[in-house]
Structure 1
Amino acid sequence: MSGVGFAKRWLPAKLLLLWTLIHICESSVHLFAPDEVIFERCSNANITISSSSAVSQSVVIRFNVTYSSNGNYSSIITLPEQVLLPVKATSVSFNVSARHVGQVTTRLLSNNTDLNSLSLRIRFMVVHSNFLFVVSQVIGWIYFLAWSVSFYPQAVENWRRKSVVGLNFDFLALNLTGFIAYSAFNIGLFWIPYIKEEFLERNPNGINPVSANDVFFSLHAVLLCLIYAIQAAAYERGDQRVSWTAIVLLAIGWTFSLVSIFLAVAKTISWLDCLYYFSYIKLAVTLIKYVPQAFMNYRRKTTEGWSIGNVLLDFTGGSLSILQMVLQSYNNDEWSLIFGDPTKFGLGLFSMVFDIIFMAQHYCLYRHPPQYEAVQQEP
């Protein structure tokens, strides 16, 4: 009976709380604007800001420019200082003129108390050519597909041979660790609102570097690496195992990641910093993961068991990735995309160098595997 009485006493309070939350949600007005506007220089764009419902009083929306690629946004675009959303209106439009190539980021501020939490940002990107922009996007999708498909030839090769002899286990272990760390970084910055907001607070003029493609690619890579590991356990593997050198490196990496998580939980560092540390693990793995496989091929004088299809697709993806960076840098007059991020550019080139080494081993150096013939001794 006491439980029933407790429920009767608290039920009206719960209903009142629910009604209050619904009322707050219905009374608040949300504004919507495009995150990014891309247009050619010497052209115009019409931008619309819309509200979730008609406003009860006129709303003045001001544009607070927080970033300009050359320091003077008026030389890049012509932007009004403010626009007015009239009473009972649900949208307002304004015109922006592009003058020169560059980037401008502006934050939308309002005088309406219902919109004090407004944190909308619009990034205006003026480019040399919309055609080059489309070509760059197409190239991006092609190298994304090339990199994604590059995992399958090795899995098929293992299944066809029912053997993983020739596939270096150090490479497998390092690659799996690297993509787990990369997935953690991508998931945090793409799906967790708290971390996304933390990134914007720290980089008010920046754009989230992680897209849905990045999340899919990293999770897909983890899945295929796990399939490799299952094949390594199920198929013939000879005397291959993970070396002590790789075990020590993996132990250092995993210890570093666990300490980072502990510090983030203890609020000694932010979760965003923790994710950046995970990305450093991925970078370190990329620098060393190909070395064991290349050395193993050299020692065996053959590439049997190491799929060349994986190498060709990886080289295609890497070369197209660098081509896209060059096109974007020219089209946006932002050469910092290459020279301002030498780590990303350098790692792309580093991977391509190893792809060239693997192709040389497969097609030139070890094209004909060594043949072991019985030698008849003379009497």
Structure 2
Amino acid sequence: MAGPETLLLSAGDTLSTVLGWTYFVAWSVSFYPQVCLNYKRKSVEGLSIDFLVYNVYGFACYAVFNSAFFFSKSIADEYARRNDGHTNLVRFNDLFFSYHALVLSLVTFAQTFYYKRAVAQESSRVARVFFYTTAAGIALSLVLSSAYTTVYLLSFVKLGCSLVKYIPQAWLNHRRQSTVGWSVHNIILDFTGGILSFMQLILDAARSGNVAEAFGNPVKLGMGLASIGFDLLFLTQHYFLYTDRYDPDDIEAQSQRHPTPSYGSTGSSNNSDGGF
């Protein structure tokens, strides 16, 4: 018969697995509402191009980071050597999520070249400088440092993208005084995923007996905290600050606000002969 400690460990494993796959589903599904909204509107007006640039670049770095820790024995051994023998906390769901997120981010970015967008709707100089500067840093690290250092640099580039990517969208919402074109369902799912990811990270670190191990995966920790903070801001914008939902690119919304007038029928008393 299993003792209390064995049962507690088993319950902890189960809870961690449930949290991991639930946040994986929430974060993964969160990419689809924006893609569907763009498709429905046939427009990307209201969506920050900088946000998309940071998303694609960040998830590309994150996918490489997770792949290195998941598949490379030398990277995993180096992590263990630097962290008192502890294994890193990159799991299969983290790996699959990063691939899936990268693909959906690319799809959303591709929509900006196909659907209607504003004349001045393009990436900013700040985003371009961020991209070229960090890409040069990564290339330099490949030449001058170890693979482990370069992989960790990728994780911090992803973290940087996560911290700044929401700022252009929040500012765009403020400038337009509207969240039209920016899917709130994306935000709700992202918020849910951020909370669950943070909970799993802390739980796994506590179960390993080394709470500081939670900081051994700064990308996952930073992504969770950044998502929670900015999602609260976006929910405030959508539900409290900018509540006008009228979308000029939504034909259905237009017909509801401006019903098609009746120009008379055979039964209309206003029908007159030969009138304009």
Q: Same fold (TM over 0.5)?
A: yes
* Structure whose residues are more often helix by fraction: 2
> Which of 100, 125, 128 does residue 244 from structure 1 map onto?
125
Q: Give 1:195 shift.
A: 3.3
Q: Is structure 2 residue 68 aligned with structure 1 residue 157?
A: no
Q: 1:270 aligns with which of 143, 146, 151?
A: 146
Q: 1:352 is aligned with what amino acid? A: I
Whole-Å separation in 2 of the counterparts to 1:138 and 1:371: 38
Bigger share in strand = 1
Q: Please say if residues 155 and 228 of structure 1, whose CA atoms lie closer than 8 Å, have aligned partners that are also in contact.
A: yes
SS at match of 1:157: helix
Kindly report which structure 2 residues correspond to 1:24-173, keeping only aligned pairs within 5 A, or say none: 128-173=8-53
Residue 322 (structure 1) shift: 2.2
What is the distance in 2 between the residues matched to 1:325 and 1:257? 27
Number of equivalent positions: 246
Structure 1: which amino acid aligns with 2:65?
F
1:287 aligned residue: 163
The whole-number CA distance in structure 1 between the counterparts of 2:150 and 2:209 is 32
- Provide structure 2 residue ranges, at least 5 long, that are not aligned to the other structure: 249-276
Aligned residue among 90, 97, 111 for 1:231: 111
TM-score normalized by the length of structure 2: 0.79
Name the SS of the counterpart of 1:165 in structure 2.
coil
Q: Contact 1:303–1:362 (CA<8 Å) still a contact in 2?
A: yes
Whole-angstrom distance in 1 between the partners of 2:184 and 2:9: 37
Q: Which residue of 1 aligns with 2:172?
A: 296
State yes or no: 1:256 paired with 2:132: no
For residues 231 and 371 of structure 1, what CA distance do their matches in structure 2 show?
18
CA contact (8 A) 2:69 2:90 kept: yes
Structure 2 CA distance, aligned partners of 1:342 and 1:152?
Answer: 26
Q: 1:328 to 1:191 in 2, by over 3 A?
A: closer
Cα 1:40–1:229 shift into 2, 3 Å: farther
Cα pair 1:40 1:130 within 8 Å, conserved: no
8 A contact 1:301–1:370 mirrored in 2: no
Q: Deviations for 1:148-200, whole angstroms, at most 9, x for unmatched residues?
A: 11111111111111111011000010111111111111112222344344444
- Give the match for residue 362 of structure 1: 238
Letter in 2 for 1:274: T
Q: Name the structure 1 match of 2:99.
A: 219
Q: Is the 8 A contact 1:147 1:313 kept in 2?
A: yes
Residue 294 of structure 1 aligns to which amino acid in structure 2? A
Shift of 1:321: 1.7
User: Any gaps of 5 or more consecutive residues in structure 1?
Assistant: 1-38, 44-126, 373-379
Larger RCO (CA within 8 A; separation ≥ 6): 2
| Cα deviation, residue 361, structure 1 | 1.0
Contact residue 58 and residue 162 of structure 2 kept, 8 A: yes
Give the TM-score normalised by the residue count of structure 1. 0.59
Identical residues among aligned pairs (%): 41
Which whole-Å CA distance do the structure 2 matches of 1:302 and 1:316 have between them?
23
CA separation in 2, counterparts of 1:198 and 1:235?
Answer: 46
SS of structure 2 residue aligned to 1:174? helix
Distance 2:80 2:217 in 1: 19
* Residue-by-residue CA offset, 1:209-249 (whole Å, 9 max, x unaligned): 32222221111111111111210001101120001111111
User: 1-side partners of 2:40 and 2:62: how far apart?
Assistant: 30
- Of 226-235 and 332-341, deviating more is 332-341
Aligned equivalents of 2:89, 2:206: Cα separation in 1: 19
What is the Cα deviation at residue 325 of structure 1?
3.6
Deviations 1:276-298 (A, max 9, x none): 11111011111111000000000
What's the C-alpha RMSD, in Å, of the aligned pairs? 2.7
